[in-house]
Structure 1
Amino acid sequence: MHRPAPPLDVVSAMPGIAWPALPAASGAALLAILFQLEQTQWWPGERIETAQRRQLAQLVSHAAATVPFYRDRLPRDWPAAEDGAAWEAVWRSVPILRRHEIQAADESDAMLADQLPAGHGEYREIFTSGSTGRPIRAVRSQLWELVWSAFTLRDHLWHRRDVTGTLAVIRESGAGKAAWPQGDAQQGWGFSSAGLFETGRLVSLNVTTPVDQQLEWLQRQDADYLLSHPSILARLAAASQEAGIRLPRLRQAIGIAEMLRPEARAAIEAAWSVPVIDVYSTREAGYLALQCPDHGGYHVQSEGLRLEVVAEDGTPCGPGETGRVLVTPLHNLAMPLIRYDIGDAAELGAPCPCGRGLPVLTRILGRRQNMLRLPGGGRRWPLLSSGDLGALQRAVPPLRQYRIVQKALDHLHLVLAIARPMTAEEATAAQGWAQAKFGTGFRITVESHRELPRSAAGKSEDFICEVPDGG
């Protein structure tokens, strides 16, 4: 049974017409996409795949004709979209696109289309955060931004948000944002709904603001929804619990930009008694998967991109298997990214009981280069269970956050955020915990801070591997 979302009031752009509203052209186009998304989510998977192949045919034809990088990279002959087996065989012959190739082509603009089809608007330039240590420039069209807006609104609709409420956002620092000690505020939830729906206030704060000031600001804003990185949400939830501060109006916490660990979700939900809704997206590829509103998995946003989970040899993974994530945004003809390896790993799931035909990811494991490198060879995911975390908390009782950095094949460095200076006994206990968890073949070093340092984009990863391939 599907509960209805709160009503959305459309803003009329037609003089003399208040209701039913007649939006401006961009708003009408956005409503047209939303109307289709409401239908296509319930299509059978086979029908979604066929429609997706028809759009991919448009994309590869445009790329081959107008993008220098792709002129000799793409097959010339493609089967009909309805011939799934033959089409997929040709698709898998397309080379996987690597990040370093995008960077190399950037010097000559070889990945940019010479021209855009009519109606796609202007070129818009953005830069990724560089969470892999190698930021890239991405160029998108205005039409692609319209599609981005549609999936933003789908997320609001799926999770039944009242867009007339207050949305609080704690995100990356940027030009001018460091000068916002009290945060910033505006009417409306941003460009995704601007000029189409009546929305409430958007209040925002620099991610580098100390956590005690973040909590004071959040309490003062009395927001309905809070959007931030999962590590920030978890730290705020712990701080509010420690201080006995309640957020009575808060309805949902929304996680972005980082992997949401199950233990972090549980801690946030326990502290604030609200659900945590996770979003899987990248700046260069847009929305990859949204959390199912009815079950625990993530639905791939197949109307906006093709997402593949493949094994190391490039063969498709099946349900329950983990592989690397390849993405192909369907509608960005300004700078096509075809079979782009974003550096993540994910686990493919079985069809969702909700009845949506959109593919399912059951787990998003994060950056593949941040797998633990083993001294004797091989790699594994350094996932910590609730029992592991409890043992670390007992070893270092004032623990707030942790990060594990693999400095060498035989060296793990623990960076701990704790409420007071760490004692020698606690440092020794932390070393013992790490050797019990990861093995005695690792040399363990420990340092402590009051807060963990973040990347320029405000992200915080709990495991980082600094060992280069072949190192």
Structure 2
Amino acid sequence: MIMPSILWFLYNLRKSQYYKLGDLEKLQNKKLASLIKHAYDNSQFYHRRFREAGLRPEDIKDKEDLKKIPITTRIDVQDNLYQFVSKELNPENCQRYTSSGSTGIPVTVFVHGNSEAYRAALFARPFLENGLRLYDKMLRITAVHSANVHWYEKFGIMRKMCVSPVEPLDSVIPLFEKYRPDAIFGNSSYLLLLAEKKNEINPTFSPRLIFSTAELLSLRSRKEIESAFNQKVFDLYGSVETERLAWECSEHTGYHMDVDSHVMEFVDNPNENVSYGERGEILVTPLYNYSMPLIRYEIGDIGVPVDDECPCQRGLPLMERIEGRISNFILLPDGRLIPPTAFLDLDDVSGIRKFQVVQLKENLINVRLVTNNSFTNEIHSQITEVLKKIVGNEVDIVIDYFEDIPRESSGKYMTVKSMLRSARMV
């Protein structure tokens, strides 16, 4: 990967974000047509899929035509991995990225050359747009696979120290103080723990920028993190398979979607786009990864697009919020699906330090709590009332108490989990 390529892509990305929406859509459609032709000509999987659907590249003229193409599932990628890779590439010469498997289905993607350089630029854009400088030091709370030292870091560019989100906080605080990062980037639950520890012992470091990712950021977590560090939190959304997808700017009016680099669709049951303000399953077509094309990739999340304009003057359209993993929606006996965000009201209940809602059966939910000294029997009853308003009286609620609630093996902390794999929108 050559640094000039990254800088060139980054220059263009920082410029294109201010295009008018109409111009962004023209750019997006141009990139889409090029990617579709490349995938048809070079990806064994998509060549076969197009022929099975009776399609040729010229049938996909813009993003509205994408619905003609069947959705690419995570199982598709798992079962046919090397058939996705461009025939001109040897996967052994590519950079390999594997998702954490928080959906239960880990997925690997390959990138190479300009695709890898573009991916790096796309990753960097929201940091730089929100105040990060190329020579700043960043503390990254991240999985081990992201901890590789890139060659440009040896020249002081985009330096980082990586800490696993499963690492005990007490052993990490001295490293924070010694490294003195200009920015922190990591899981929101770990940032909250760090904020609480900072309030307890008041470590001397004070980062200038805070970026959260990988988990739903509740209002309470945002407020506590911002209060502890006296800095605004910038929430970022993306995936290992696609890189950055959407991000907050300094206006915090929603998440700017990277439509100059992806097509993001929000669809409902009949595979039709939802209206603005409605939740839909997110399908992603990265427009830069010619190494391993993904078209209408089922990322596994639910989001809500909006037709609002941001005061920052960027043309990148907005997503109002991410509502969580489809697999972690709660499926009620009457067929309704409840998003994980609905349970964030528990954050406002006094006496709760940490909670986790686990659906064991359609009519049984287990609530796991870590409490503090202010917790009372009245609060126990209050929790039941809050949950009954969300899930109704047909669902039994069992509350258990723990000293701590462990993270997933990926390092993520799941506030809501469903054991029902059928709890899906599509």
Contact 1:116/1:333 (8 A) holds in 2:
no
Match of 1:156 in 2: 127
**What secondary structure, in the 3-state scheme, does the structure 2 residue paired with 1:383 have?**
helix
Contact 2:131/2:209 (8 A) holds in 1:
no
Higher helix share: 2
Q: For 1:443, which of 381, 392, 396 is the aligned residue? A: 396
Match of 2:184 in 1: 226
Q: Does 1:78 align with 2:40?
A: no
Match of 1:235 in 2: 193
Superposed CA RMSD: 3.1
Contact 1:173/1:458 (8 A) holds in 2:
no
Match of 1:182 in 2: none
Distance apart, 1:112 and its partner CA: 2.1
Q: Does 1:264 align with 2:244?
A: no
**What secondary structure, in the 3-state scheme, does the structure 2 residue paired with 1:445 have?**
strand
Q: Map of 1:141-220 to 2, 5 A cutoff? A: 141-173=112-144, 191=150, 194=153, 198-199=156-157, 201-220=159-178
Match of 1:353 in 2: 311
Match of 2:321 in 1: 363
Q: For 1:458, which of 400, 411, 420 is the aligned residue? A: 411
User: CA–CA distance in 2 between the matches of 1:174 and 1:123?
Assistant: 15
Match of 1:100 in 2: 75
Give the TM-score, by structure 1 length. Answer: 0.80
Match of 1:43 in 2: 19
Q: Deviations for 1:208-233, whole angstroms, at most 9, x for unmatched residues? A: 22233334443443322111100111
Q: Does 1:112 align with 2:85?
A: yes
| Cα 1:359–1:426 shift into 2, 3 Å | closer
| Cα 1:190–1:161 shift into 2, 3 Å | farther
User: CA–CA distance in 1 between the matches of 2:257 and 2:348?
Assistant: 33
Distance apart, 1:250 and its partner CA: 1.6
User: CA–CA distance in 2 between the matches of 1:466 and 1:80?
Assistant: 38
Distance apart, 1:135 and its partner CA: 0.8
Q: Point out the structure with max Rg over C-alpha.
A: 1
| Cα 1:470–1:88 shift into 2, 3 Å | closer
- Aligned AA (2:3): G
Q: Which runs of 5+ in 2 are unaligned?
A: none
Q: For 1:298, which of 252, 255, 272 is the aligned residue? A: 255
Q: Does 1:332 align with 2:312?
A: no
Contact 1:323/1:345 (8 A) holds in 2:
yes
Q: Which runs of 5+ in 1 are unaligned?
A: 1-24, 82-86, 178-188
| Cα 1:463–1:192 shift into 2, 3 Å | farther
Distance apart, 1:412 and its partner CA: 0.7
- Aligned AA (1:366): G
Contact 2:265/2:284 (8 A) holds in 1:
yes
Contact 1:103/1:136 (8 A) holds in 2:
yes
Larger RCO of the pair (alpha carbons < 8 Å, separation 6+): 2
| Cα 1:256–1:247 shift into 2, 3 Å | farther
Contact 1:173/1:208 (8 A) holds in 2:
no
User: CA–CA distance in 1 between the matches of 2:258 and 2:379?
Assistant: 46
Distance apart, 1:54 and its partner CA: 1.6
Match of 1:316 in 2: 273
- Aligned AA (1:255): S
Q: Which runs of 4+ in 1 moved over 6 A?
A: 422-429
User: CA–CA distance in 2 between the matches of 1:89 and 1:152?
Assistant: 27
Contact 1:171/1:206 (8 A) holds in 2:
yes
User: CA–CA distance in 1 between the matches of 2:403 and 2:168?
Assistant: 10
Match of 1:411 in 2: 364
